[in-house]
Chain A
């Protein structure tokens, strides 16, 4: 079958045998599932959102500093994708946002202050999961317009959107259309007419911000901790009726997280202020630093490392 000369066949055989031998040296099993038998290993997950990844990285490094082994499973996806994993206990630590998680877990229409939402969330979580202390930092969805647009129509809060005389196009992820605070809620609650919806799948990222600044869309859902709000002169419209629930950063943990780990995570939450979160995000977006570096610097600056 092979008509190459004998010398070349020998070389080919040696390469194949060598490759097989080297692969035998590899110790990890690529087919093994994520769970580990080691009780000291905690699996930390994060959303497909850079800011959430930074917080998850902070948790991971703080836990590793406390002697735990951490298995990082970052950038999993949107809530519909990772929530089943958390509920089944496949993930041990996950940074979440109180209001958004409560809306996803409960059937009714939750409302209340930051503390009330936290209490309701504690009750809504299934067995085997709990939340540790919440941080002061919050990162909630908001309806955001440009400063120029706000000045043109004297926009201050969501209800003032009825002042707008030109057609309003909303831009954002496809699933925004089905969210309880989405364009339909604006129409029902405040009587705002939305002319259209343009899908931009980067979760309020640079494409959405650029579209907003270029006036291709007039209204977008930008997270309140996004540094682009200050950089690009955007205005997050006020929400006096609580269309968006308070969304404080809180670690959702499984039963595997013992008191030592909980103490470490609570220490992180106590130190994480809103200004901190915005500046962490700014480092990622404006300075393009990696989540690992940002996390290490913040933990060092706060004497947690």
Chain B
């Protein structure tokens, strides 16, 4: 408990804020890296996920690949990339994108899979083209699950972006590495606590987003205002 108290004291020590190595700069670096990574991963994973979900083709291969990629140790991949690309942000970003893509891919095609086939039939019956079905039916209805995938990806990336400091990429990992290597465990624990708090904050943000993106029509049918019993009693 003493170590935990030391770590909290370390975080609130004003000497550790401000400047390029301060807690605030590192938090901003960390968030920037994480959001950039999730953005790139979304751009890569969402079109592929939508293609698989809509056509139903290629699911087996892509799912197996995504599962295998999840097993890659991010630190090993990071060092391998850095040996070729040099120090800096390139290697961590690529390694973290590889980490984030499977979750978002899963969210994208699960969202499309969850749409009732009868709704898609009805859309075709009404005369919608395939692209109209994708944009007007499947994407809006699949958004909550996609958000769930992105939420899981953001959590993993925020937790793992601490590795960026191994190759000079900055971020909250700097406190963890410096603390670990100099035996300053209160600093190391402080860095970890800030990462955890950041992860929780983003969890809350994304779970709120997940609820907000549910289409209005869907929430209307789930609302308790829908009557399930007749207005007038059957008996005289």
Q: How far is the CB of B49 from chain A (nearest CB, A)?
A: 34
A49 to B167, CA, bound (A): 18
Residues of A within 8 A of B86 (CB): 210-211, 214, 216
Name the interface residues of A171-202: CB closer than 8 Å to any CB of B: 171, 173-175, 177-178, 196, 198-202
Check B182 against A178 for contact (C-beta < 8 Å): yes
A171 to B183, CA, bound (A): 20
Report the nearest A residue to B175, measured CB to CB.
A174
A216 to B182, CA, bound (A): 25
* Contact of B166 with A by CB under 8 A: yes
**Among A80, A174, A207: residue with most chain B CB under 10 A:** A174
Check A174 against B174 for contact (C-beta < 8 Å): yes
* Contact of A78 with B by CB under 8 A: yes
Report the nearest A residue to B168, measured CB to CB.
A198
* Contact of B222 with A by CB under 8 A: no
Assuming the contacts A175-B182, A178-B182, A201-B165, asked whether A206 and B87 have C-beta atoms less than 8 A apart, the reply is no
Q: How far is the CB of A57 from chain B (nearest CB, A)?
A: 23
* Contact of B35 with A by CB under 8 A: no
* Contact of B39 with A by CB under 8 A: no
Interface size class for chain B? 10 to 19
Name the interface residues of B124-165: CB closer than 8 Å to any CB of A: 165
* Contact of B69 with A by CB under 8 A: no
A202 to B83, CA, bound (A): 11
Q: How far is the CB of A75 from chain B (nearest CB, A)?
A: 14
* Contact of A25 with B by CB under 8 A: no
Check A207 against B167 for contact (C-beta < 8 Å): yes
Check A199 against B182 for contact (C-beta < 8 Å): no
Q: How far is the CB of B184 from chain A (nearest CB, A)?
A: 8
Q: How far is the CB of A119 from chain B (nearest CB, A)?
A: 28
* Contact of B82 with A by CB under 8 A: yes
* Contact of A81 with B by CB under 8 A: yes
Report the nearest A residue to B84, measured CB to CB.
A210
Name the interface residues of B31-47: CB closer than 8 Å to any CB of A: none
Assuming the contacts A210-B83, A210-B86, asked whether A174 and B168 have C-beta atoms less than 8 A apart, the reply is no
Report the nearest B residue to A77, measured CB to CB.
B181
Assuming the contacts A211-B86, A214-B86, asked whether A200 and B183 have C-beta atoms less than 8 A apart, the reply is no
Assuming the contacts A200-B168, A201-B165, asked whether A211 and B182 have C-beta atoms less than 8 A apart, the reply is no
Residues of B within 8 A of A77 (CB): 181
Report the nearest B residue to A198, measured CB to CB.
B168
Please, what's the 1-or-0 string for A12-54, where 1 marks a CB less than 8 Å from any CB in chain B? Answer: 0000000000000000000000000000000000000000000
Residues of A within 8 A of B10 (CB): none
* Contact of B177 with A by CB under 8 A: yes
Given contacts A200-B168, A201-B167, 16 further A-B contacts (CB under 8 A): A78-B181, A80-B182, A171-B87, A171-B168, A174-B165, A174-B182, A175-B182, A198-B168, A199-B166, A199-B174, A201-B177, A207-B87, A210-B82, A210-B83, A211-B168, A217-B87
5 tightest CB-CB pairs across the interface, nearest first?
A80-B183, A174-B178, A198-B168, A211-B87, A175-B181
